[in-house]
Amino acid sequence: MSIQTMTRTATADSAEPVTAPALPAGDRAGDGYDWMDTLEGTAWSVLPNWGSEGWDAGSWPYIIFTVARIRDGSGELFGYGTYVEGDTSAYGFRSQDACFEAVTAEVFFHWASGQSDGPDSLPATAAGLPEEDRKPYPVWTT
């Protein structure tokens, strides 16, 4: 049974108005593990790893990344969302490459600040990461 809720938003890359799956809101009574349970039956899936070596894409149960991929009347939509200590945010993209760049930037922030485990040697900015570390861990792509 789908418990999908839809929301009207605009894509971050093309500013196109779309109707997309809403990311469930954080539950202040539970923790991130409880919140991950609310993803069941929605278009959203947890994204545990990022980059060529599968470094942490967050720090469970405090920082959790999610992804979604759907099709609407104009083509595919790609999204990523975050849960950070109960606060949730979601971003939609028409381009998968633009979505990957946005995820890379946010994952890099958490690596650089020491909030999650990433590569031992980080460049000054996310743009300086090698290409293979600017996309999902290969095990999670199909």
| Model pLDDT for residues 95-135, shown as the tens digit of each residue | 999 999 999 999 999 999 999 999 999 999 999 999 999 99
Give dist(CA 67, CA 79) in Å, integer: 6
What would the two tokens of residue 22 be? 């809403």
Q: Return the pLDDT at 8.
A: 87
Cβ 81 vs Cβ 44: under 8 Å: yes
1 has a pLDDT exceeding 80: no
What would the two tokens of residue 85 be? 């200590």
Least confident residue range of 12-26, 33-47, 99-113: 12-26
